[in-house]
Structure 1
Amino acid sequence: MPGPGFAVIDLETTGLFPGGHDRIVELAVVHVDDHGLITGRWETLLNPGRDLGPQQIHGIRSADILDAPSFAEVVPQLVELLAGRVPVSHNARFDSGFLFAELEAAGVELWQRPEFLCTMLLARDYLPGSGRALADCCDAFDIPLEGAHRASVDALATASLLSAYMAADPNTSLWFEALERASAFGWPPVPDVVVTHAWCARPEAVAEITAATFLERITRKLPEFAGPAEQSEYLAMLDRALIDRHISATEAHALVALAEELGIDRSTVVGLHRRYFDDLTAVAWADGELTEAELADLVAVADLLDIPTGAIGTATDASRWVAASASADSSAHRFALAPGDLVVLTGEMSLPRSAIELELVSRGYTPWPAVTKKVALVVAADPDSLSGKARKARDYGIPVVGESALWGLLGT
């Protein structure tokens, strides 16, 4: 058989409609030679510049794609991986539709389009009577498919399925003719693009972000010129970040950027984190009692800010804090919604948006369609969301929290 072989492609996307608002968020390519042997694998997350759509399906978090390349940045290498090869997908109509839409949006002029092979359609010939889903086809050949809806997993399974088809019918003209067409197809020139992000595979494990993950990015400064005003500004941003007792990747980036902008030293930031924790402890003791819920809250904040274990023990010592809390501002570090506050929702929540809006109205708050400076809170399906609403909220300094944090604020 002529030609280098096949390029098996799998994508994860924000939705079902290419060429419009939906985008590719993960891409994998697997090379298969003309004998059906797998010879190479590549994968990357992609930053779509918008929210990630049904995250419960593809499992990609906004934090994962903050440093991922855009589709335009991967086009040069992607076209190299496809050149001269037969493109293959399971449900090629879907994958090719998104791929061609993204290529054209990136400036690749596809006057002609390469012809895909579809392992789903080929199942009619090689697996008559079997289901058409990738899992069904893989089961028929005992091909492992663990972690489906990850592009690299699905692409490898599809490549193995293609190899099984080829082994079952090695002499058919189907493979030869497809390779001939691919060899004759000429990809158009690729526009020049400044590549600022390398290909970025999805992380294997999800680790919670704490202060330890971003403190090393804050410069040590000698001498430091930041004063009380700058420190208060940092504490205010920290307070917004901890409303939901979670530090998102976006919030970690913002805290580092603010510390650098204000000229705050790393050691000062550590001290500010301890000061924040001590103030929170004083507020918890303001009524002379530390409840289990308040202690759990202090432990959660201590874990996020990497407060020494000994400080948590000290926080339970009533003799140390009751007197100090007498002058504490009981509203400090306690974000709360006020009646009539405007609340904006963005992204696909676990509940229908209409149901959440009805709950907000029943509690006396006002669901709002757009982000303005008058909005009190933005609730996102993912706190690191790249939706236009979330980006605008961060520009205005409006807190962005997840859905679970909203229920916490509402006391449900």
Structure 2
Amino acid sequence: MTGFATIDFETTGLFPTKHDRAIEVAVVHSDPDGRITGRWETLINPGRDLGAQRIHAIRAADVLRAPTFADIAAELVDLLSGRVVVAHNASFDQRFLLAELDRIAYWAPQFDPLCTMRLARDILPGAGRSLADCCAAFDIDLTGAHRASVDAFATAQLLEAYIASTSDWSGWACALAEAQPWTPHDAPRLAWFSRDDVSSDEPADFLERITVKLPEHAGPAEHQDYLALLDRCLIDRHLSISEADALVAAAESLGISRDTAARLHDDYFAALTAIAWADAVLTDAEIADLTAVAALLRIPDARLALALVAPDVEAPVAVAAFALEPGDQIVLTGEMTRPRVEIEAELIARGFVPKSAITKKTKLLVAADPDSLSGKARKAREYGVAVVGESWLAGLH
């Protein structure tokens, strides 16, 4: 089939030949007249942090179960083969495409993509070069920009509008005539995984994933190990996908059943309740804290309501709580909302020691995204170092 293949990548940054990676790709097929005939998209797990997440709005949790570029390369090659590759600011997408293909030792044939941004200089003089400006000139919807499927679809519609308005231009036919077939990539193929495929399940649903075991064979020591991990996971009152997975894995390895895990969650909540009521006063902050933990651990509403009225009569099971002390080493990872030097100065002022690398002496990793795929985050989980989101820093004020 001849025609056009419009592509768009979302990436971790701007430099594919250094360390930035593709994290989403979309392809839109069009026939020689520009009419759209097919659409594909997938998230890509880059095996590193996701860069400026405020731009592309992709979370680490979204790509944890997404395929790698190597997993989707064979189908991507098929989608581009024999077609004219099109993109808006095509040099950017071409650089990322070739860099990713180079990493898996696939060498694409030489091709010159059509760039709808450059074509705008002749077709839309004075209209501006951005995709939004060009789309506005033809009243093409761009709602949800910076999602690869949205940008690629809008660019393909822009291409169709260009062709319709310059039907006598020989450049379209020349480009189609020069399109070459690509050598098929012989590699395993995984299903493409779009943002729409991301599970809407809350991380707190991890309890349902713990096996119902009979008979129970975990004892007090295993229970304390599980509670200690639970406490580390809830430091920032946020349960990431990675932390939920870790709790499921811990329950399985420790021989803890789903019913026992639910009881341990209740014990943990009872301990927090007792601490909150220790001074006989429950502040708004303590109420919010208990409510947040109850939601994460699926504590019944009736149990929460009772905790907010009066402390438990019986003494709760003791839990070794996570605590930071002066001199503890803290590492940062990811693009924070504030300058990193400002955060590090704040940590130093409170007696902590900011470090640039994860070691077994690290007490805490603060991540821009608590599900971060950065090397630091992977190493922290390997060492059992607690990982919290940037929101944890607000508690330092």
- TM superposition score category, shorter chain reference: over 0.9
Closer, same or farther: CA 207–405 of 1 in aligned 2, 3 Å = farther
RMSD of Structure 2 on Structure 1 (CA): 1.8
Matched letter for residue 71 of structure 2: E
Match of 2:94, SS state, is helix
Other-structure match for 1:59: 57
Distance 1:205 1:10 in 2: 20
Question: Are 1:107 and 1:191, in contact at CA under 8 Å, matched by a contact in 2?
Answer: no
Matched letter for residue 52 of structure 1: L
Once the two structures are superposed, what CA deviation does each residue of 1:353-378 show, in whole Å capped at 9, x if it has no partner?
Answer: 11111111111111101111111110
Match of 1:77, SS state, is helix
Please state how far the C-alpha of 1:204 moved relative to its aligned partner.
Answer: 8.3
Percent identity of the aligned residues? 60
Length-normalised TM-score, structure 1: 0.92
Other-structure match for 1:375: 362
Other-structure match for 1:49: 47
Distance 1:347 1:23 in 2: 14
Q: Where do residues 286-325 of structure 1 align in structure 2 (5 Å cutoff)?
A: 286-318=278-310, 320-321=311-312, 324=314
Match of 2:160, SS state, is helix
Closer, same or farther: CA 274–178 of 1 in aligned 2, 3 Å = same
Other-structure match for 2:243: 251
Q: Where do residues 135-284 of structure 1 align in structure 2 (5 Å cutoff)?
A: 135-182=132-179, 185-193=180-188, 195=189, 197-203=190-196, 209-211=202-204, 213-284=205-276
Closer, same or farther: CA 204–100 of 1 in aligned 2, 3 Å = same
Question: Are 1:19 and 1:102, in contact at CA under 8 Å, matched by a contact in 2?
Answer: no
Match of 1:31, SS state, is strand
Question: Are 2:83 and 2:181, in contact at CA under 8 Å, matched by a contact in 1?
Answer: no
Question: Are 2:228 and 2:321, in contact at CA under 8 Å, matched by a contact in 1?
Answer: no
Distance 2:285 2:47 in 1: 38
Question: Are 2:78 and 2:182, in contact at CA under 8 Å, matched by a contact in 1?
Answer: no
Please state how far the C-alpha of 1:163 moved relative to its aligned partner.
Answer: 0.5
Please state how far the C-alpha of 1:216 moved relative to its aligned partner.
Answer: 2.4
Other-structure match for 2:277: 285
Matched letter for residue 82 of structure 1: L
Distance 1:40 1:160 in 2: 12
Distance 1:131 1:23 in 2: 28
Unaligned runs of 5+ in 1: none
Misfit runs of 4+, over 6 Å: none
Unaligned runs of 5+ in 2: none
Question: Are 2:203 and 2:240, in contact at CA under 8 Å, matched by a contact in 1?
Answer: no
Please state how far the C-alpha of 1:210 moved relative to its aligned partner.
Answer: 4.2
Closer, same or farther: CA 70–397 of 1 in aligned 2, 3 Å = same
Match of 1:361, SS state, is helix
Other-structure match for 1:391: 378
Please state how far the C-alpha of 1:263 moved relative to its aligned partner.
Answer: 2.1
Distance 2:295 2:137 in 1: 48
Match of 1:401, SS state, is strand
